[in-house]
C-alpha cells in the first residue's frame, strides 16, 4: 500500500488534520516526509491512530499513550497500567451506579419533600463528603 497524505489519513481516521499535527508534535505519530506542503504517513499510522482512539476512550492521557509505544513505534503496552486503568473504571462504574440508583429513588420517593427522605439525605451527605466523586478536594492554602 502506498503512503498516505495527511488529508487521506484524517479522512480515514475520522480526525481533523490539526489533531494529526498535534499528535505528531506530542510524538504519538510521525510523518515520513512531504508531498508538496502535505505531510505523508505510512499506512500503519491508521492502526496506531486506532490504538490511540481506543486508549483515549478508556481514559488514558496522551502522555500515558505515548509511553505505550517503543522507540521503533511498535506498541509496548504495560499490562500493569491496563490493570490499574481497569480498576479506576470499576471505581467510576460503582460511583455512577450509586448516583443512578439515588436519582431513581429521588424520582420515585413518596416523601412529601426530598429533604424529608432519609435515603436522599444520606445521598446528600455522601455528595458533600466527596464520596460520590462529585467534589474534588480543594488544595490546602499554606497558613501565614
For 60-110, write each residue's pLDDT tens digit. Answer: 999 999 888 887 778 888 899 999 999 999 999 998 898 888 888 888 888
Q: Report the chain's mean pLDDT, rounded to a whole number.
A: 86
Q: Vertex 15, ends 78 and 8: CA angle to 5°?
A: 110
Name the residue among 36, 38, 29, 27 with its Cα closest to residue 5: 38
Higher-pLDDT residue of 76, 15: 15
What fold is seen in the domain 4-66?
A: Multidrug-efflux Transporter Regulator; Chain: A; Domain 2 (1.10.1660)
**Model pTM?**
0.71
Q: What is the mean pLDDT of residues 2-31?
A: 93
What pLDDT is recorded for position 133? Answer: 61
Q: Is 66 left (phi over 0), alpha (psi -120 to 50) or beta?
A: alpha
The neighbour count for residue 104, using CB atoms within 10 Å, is: 10
Q: What is the mean pLDDT of residues 27-43?
A: 89
Q: Is the pLDDT of residue 134 over 60?
A: no
d(CA 5, CA 17) in angstroms, rounded, equals: 10
Domain boundaries, the chain: 4-66, 86-129
Higher-pLDDT residue of 8, 140: 8
Q: To the nearest whole percent, how much of the chain has pLDDT over 70?
A: 90
Amino acid at each position: 500500500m502506498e503512503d498516505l497524505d495527511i488529508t487521506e489519513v484524517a479522512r480515514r481516521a475520522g480526525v481533523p488534520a490539526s489533531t494529526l499535527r498535534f499528535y505528531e508534535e506530542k510524538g504519538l505519530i510521525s510523518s515520513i516526509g512531504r508531498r508538496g506542503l502535505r505531510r505523508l504517513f505510512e499506512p500503519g499510522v491508521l492502526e496506531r491512530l486506532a490504538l490511540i482512539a481506543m486508549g483515549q476512550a478508556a481514559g488514558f492521557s496522551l502522555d500515558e499513550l505515548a509511553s505505550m509505544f517503543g522507540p521503533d513505534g511498535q506498541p509496548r503496552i504495560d499490562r500493569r497500567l491496563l490493570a490499574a486503568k481497569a480498576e479506576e473504571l470499576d471505581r467510576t462504574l460503582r460511583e455512577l451506579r450509586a448516583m443512578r440508583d439515588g436519582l431513581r429513588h429521588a424520582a420515585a420517593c413518596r416523601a412529601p419533600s426530598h429533604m424529608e427522605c432519609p435515603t436522599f439525605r444520606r445521598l446528600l451527605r455522601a455528595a458533600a463528603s466527596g464520596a460520590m466523586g462529585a467534589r474534588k478536594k480543594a488544595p490546602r492554602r499554606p497558613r501565614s
